Structure 1
């Protein structure tokens, strides 16, 4: 008989003791999760993540000594030799802090007032290597920061050149991802199965050397694929 899969090892980083205790209680109660550590500030978060090597880091944005954005950049940014999977949990809705955290390498975010089942599902989603950014949130995020994401140069930008490896269909799927559509919504619009969409998304991420669809959205805007009239 095969052994059950290993539990998801979680590190909880939150400066408010009561909130941190609540997260720990909720996650520890799950049969497929194990809270391996806690941190009350950004520096402790980095130190604990490096020592414990958790599967998922639940990270608050505003913490003392070093904020969650800088801690995320250190643990999951491009210079990190072993990027961590980070779930941002914050009281702040789609704002600049969240945007910067996603750019820093976070795999997604969740609001602190989300019900426990959403937190549990979020940790499982990030642990699987998937991004967690609701389509509606993506649309709001993009709408607010589109100007910052648009390319500073025209069509010949390095970001746009990266997209030349995509097929026309993959380019089309990337455009729809960047508009905040879910896989199911993309499948409906293109009249294909959700499983086929999932395959396209996987190919896009592989070809562009991106970790998740959040990074794909940022790249698409910087390349000028969407925004300012949805250029193709």
Structure 2
């Protein structure tokens, strides 16, 4: 598919401008400290939206899809998309970005749609390194509808694994700008944005190599077997990210 990253940005923005946005950030951890981080934007509830379908058809046409096409299945390697825009990356940074790839799947007949990005790591410390690198990376500016959001959730988290204890420490990104507070929106525009995002949420999921024994911190979390989950209202993340630092910080002991 031509211009896969720009197409992805357009579709994700269409999702963000709906009241049914769900984003999941899942970290799956193995006993040796390696694992995978998967970020998913669920488009399932939007598939029946005629405005979304119209926007999809327009983007498909721009990318050479035949008229009436009902599905998209596109994969990409992050380094191929961002490498040329970031020539100053070191060999180590290029290696990190080279571990990331993505897939966009949308099928109107099946009523299924999602955008996923995958990052494989050898050590949990690489997650923070990769996320910080992505936050500062040069991205396509032309037709980039995500410029106001930066493509980030506003939080920076670092992880450590010592034996069978996992620790997460979070902070607000110094570059975070609340798009809801954009003065260009005006009061009415800001209120409209809040209504659009009223039901949106971000799900943070941690899957550990053993059953969870004890949790310290992460207020409001739920545990099921090896999995710890936090559900954060999107507006809370935008309006008061500092208040969520505690919600996304803590330690977990597992068997």
Output the TM-score relative to the length of structure 2: 0.27
- Which one has more relative contact order, counting CA pairs under 8 Å at least 6 apart? 2
Output the TM-score relative to the length of structure 1: 0.29
The structure richer in helix per residue is 1
